[in-house]
Each structure stands twice: as C-alpha cells, then as structure tokens.
Structure 1
C-alpha cells in the first residue's frame, strides 16, 4: 500500500547544524528553507550551504523552499539546486498563477509544490494545481494569507482551506498538508488544529520544531475504531459486487471503499 507522508519539518538553510538535526528527527520530509527563515544578507550563504549538502543523497526526502520567483534570489536558487541528487522536490512560495509553475518546470526535472499565500493565489488555485505534470501538490501559506486578507480570527481561513482541498482533488493531486502551527509550545492547540484540518480534508502538516511531529502524526493516523470500520468495509466489498448496505445501515459503494483503503494504508504507519 502507498505510504502517505504526514510530516514536513522546516529547517533554515543558513543553519546547517539545525538542518542536520532535522534530518534525524523522524519527519517524513525535511524542508530546507531559503525564504522566510533566512535574512537577506544570509541568502547566498544559505543557498551555498544547502547545495553543498544536497550534492549527496540524504537519509530522508529533502525539499527546498526557494525564494519567491519575483525576488532577486529566485533565479540563483533554481540554478544552484535544479539537478542535485540529494533533492527530492522544490517548494515554490507565493505562487499566484499557473504560468509561474510552467516557468520553473522548464528549468528543472524536480517535482514541484506550490504554496498559495495570497487572495490571488487562492482565486487561481485550480489553474495552478493543473498547470503542469511536474506539480505534485499545493498547500497554503497561512501567515501571509491571513495578512493579505486582513483576518482577525482563524475561522476566516476555513474558506481558503476548503478551496485548496477541492482544487487539489479536482486536479488529481494528493490532499494538501496543513500550514505550520507557529507556537511550538502549544501542543494541545496544535492537536486541536490538526483535528480541524483533518475534518476539512487535509492530510498531514508542516512543522517548525521536532516536538510537533508526534502530535501531527497522532492526529492524522486513524483511530482503532476507524481501522475496524475500514476493515469491515473492505471485507464486505470483497464478498459482494456493487453498492450495498452493511448490517448497521452504513452504505458502501466504490467511493467508500477507496476511503477505507486509504485509512488502512495510513494505519500501516503504526
């Protein structure tokens, strides 16, 4: 069965010792950040240090979040990273149009992941999600989006969150991961936020500290009751063809079986 990634751990590219700790922290993917976590006068150093590291294969998949395409650093980031053997993907911040995806796809064979961080990006979510075969995922950058929309409460993001979940599905992409929870001490709040994200259709979450990883994984792994329900559905589907009702009244069809299989795939992470 497919192993769905649930955790993406960010580490600043200008702090190689932090990147080294991140690689050993147990995340499904490490994201080396050249953008928000790096001051302008450290951009060149961060790029060089990251390129040096990624000339060799790494123990876990590594993505790099490059600088936004309209900044003076983006072209150098792409040129330095485009073909490194230790790199598994590029994360593109502040994407607002499908043309930006196609522009980067011409320059690198790497899988691409778009971050939508503005009202314009949300409006173009489906077009961006289907822009190019190299694009493997979309997700939100909620701090910038919150500022762009002038939101005062977290509930104001539920509309954009649902929009990006629908756009990803409509384009045939994997469910998006949640944006980071910025308070690394607030693990209860993180767990509650993950439960809300899971209910909205997200799968997994980005993190900014290793202590957040087990909370995210627990929140997104199926419960024993969900596993039992999925096993019952798969068994019923194997015994009979077509749509049917289980003894407890639940209706089973192809879509329900697909969801049950994903539940069991996630359960195998245990």
Structure 2
C-alpha cells in the first residue's frame, strides 16, 4: 500500500467518494476533521459504515485518554475486525496500545506518534502488541510540541521513526500528510525526500495528491535497470560491475527493495 486518504466521518458523501477512488486505504476520521459538537453524529456514521466489512477502511479515533476516544472504542470495538484497522492518535506508551488492542480484538492498530514523549518511546509503542501493524508521525502536533518551524527540524524525528519501525519488524512507515493540497510540486519534492529517508507511501488530505504520491514513490526506469543488474550479479560474492559499482549483500538488499517498490505499483519485476 502506498496511498491513504483522509475523509471526515461526519460526511458520508465524502467517505463514499473516497472509497470509490484510487486510494489504497481510506482513513475515516473521527478526530481532527470533526468539530466537537459533531462527534456523536460522526461516530454514528462510522458505526453505520462498518455494518458492512470494510477492508479498505481505517478509522482514526480520538485520543483514547479522552471521553470521546473511549466512546469511539466502545462503538467500533465489535466492528473493527472487518476493517484495515484503527489509527490511534497521540500514542505515548506501550500500555496504551495494549489497552486499545483489547478493546478492538482482531483489528490492526496504526499508532501515530505526535509528541516528544511518544517519539522517545517509538520502539516500545511499535513492539507493544502483535496487533500493532504500523507506526506513523502526526507531524502537525509534533511540530507544536517541539516548537519546530521548518522541515529540517523534523529530520531526526522522521529518521527515528523509520529506525523504530524497522527494529520492531514493521513495514516502513508512510509519510505524514502534506497540508497544502494545491502545492503538488512541493508535495512531489517532499515525497522524493521521504522515500530517500526510508518512508514508503504517504497519507493525503485531497484526492489530487494521490497520483503525485504514487509517481514520487515509483522507482525510475534507470533505478530499476540498475537494481536488476545488481540482483543479477547476486550470488557471486562481492564484485565490481563494469561501470565501477561495488556489489555486496547490503547493496543487493537495497536493489531488491527497489524492485519490490516497482511490483507494488503493479509493474512487472524480474
């Protein structure tokens, strides 16, 4: 999976439109996209939606330390197993993840790290329970918590998350949303930087962002050709290719990852 699209739970028309579109997963949002006065309505819409199994839907609940979050868990607990999982905001402890897992048995959990404390505990959260299937950053809240005002200030946090996911045996994390949905060039540049840092795929707030994300994460023709050449040389020990590139086991693993990315886009591999 490479694309996740947010849709506000209180707008079933937008949720339906998102589900009819090309996003790999639709995140039905009970948290930031829903005004306080509409939380009950949004929760009821999610319950109605999940009456039918929705394997392409994640539900982002409210902070589980709040009354809203607890009400979300009670409402979706018996229905969550038929979805792509529960996105858990404000993740700050392993115990929190185990409590959520107990409340939504059979559902995958996707915690979001949004604070300095959560970031310090990223590996603990990622490895807290077998139900944890991915981790991600909530960068808007993290920026506010850290007092960060530019992209460079989040570089360490992003790398920390990539390392924590890998150490816990989870898939590479997806990037946080790019909030200016009209700036598609900036989105593409940000995605290319994220891919170079070890991220795979990205969440979106507007359907127009989806093809840009896919294109940015698609390996280029030259990259794929180079990866194929490296993999073809595998099994002969450490060697130098005719163009001077040195190939060893680590380089081969990287090349295979490029080809895996290519296959994720539905293209023919080697």
Fold-level match, TM-score > 0.5?
A: yes
Determine helix, strand or coil for the equivalent of 1:32.
strand
Structure 2 partner of 1:40 = 36
1:158 aligns with 2:155: yes
TM-score, normalised via structure 2 length: 0.93
Q: Which residue of 1 aligns with 2:122?
A: 125
Using the TM superposition, name which of 111-120 and 257-266 deviates more: 257-266
Deviations 1:2-24, CA, capped at 9 Å, x for gaps: xxx11100000000000011111
1:267 is aligned to: 262
Give how far 1:258 is off: 2.6
Match in the other structure for 1:21 = 17
Counterpart pick for 2:68 among 73, 91, 95: 73
Count of aligned pairs: 263
Question: Superposition RMSD on alpha carbons, in Å?
Answer: 1.4
CA contact (8 A) 2:57 2:85 kept: yes
2:184 to 178, 182, 187: 187
Superimposed CA distance per residue, residues 32-85 of structure 1 (whole angstroms, 9 cap, x where no aligned partner): 000000011111111111111111134x61100001111111122112212326
Secondary structure at the counterpart of residue 209 of structure 1: coil
**Structure 1 gap ranges (5+):** none
- The answer to whether the 8 A contact 2:3-2:214 is kept is yes
1: distance between equivalents of 2:237 and 2:202? 35
1:93-132 equivalences in 2 (<5 Å):
93-108=89-104, 109-132=106-129
The alpha carbon displacement at 1:176 in A equals 0.7
Distance in 2 (alpha carbons) for counterparts of 1:77 and 1:159: 33
Matched, 1:172 2:169: yes
How far apart, CA to CA, are the structure 1 residues paired with 2:83 and 2:42?
15
Q: 1:248 aligns with which of 243, 246, 251?
A: 243
| Deviations 1:199-256, CA, capped at 9 Å, x for gaps | 111111100000000000101110001110111122111xx34433322232323333
Q: Distance in 2 between matches of 1:155 and 1:65?
A: 28
| Superimposed CA distance per residue, residues 172-207 of structure 1 (whole angstroms, 9 cap, x where no aligned partner) | 111111100011101011111111111111111100
Partner of 1:139: 136
Could you tell me which of 231, 236, 259 is aligned with 2:233?
236
Answer with 70-79 or 203-212: which moved more.
70-79
Give the C-alpha shift of residue 86 in structure 1. 4.1
- TM-score normalised over the length of structure 1: 0.93
8 Å CA contact retained: 1:139, 1:178: yes
Deviation string 1:148-183 (CA, Å, 9 cap, x unpaired) is 111121211111111111111111111111100011
Deviations 1:64-116 (A, max 9, x none): 00011111111221122123264120000011111111111122220101100
**Kept after mapping to 1: 8 A contact 2:82/2:107:** no
Look up the SS of the partner of 1:73 in the other structure: helix
Residues 55 and 86 in structure 1, CA contact (< 8 A), matched pair in contact too: no
Once the two structures are TM-superposed, the CA of residue 125 in structure 1 deviates from its matched residue by: 0.9
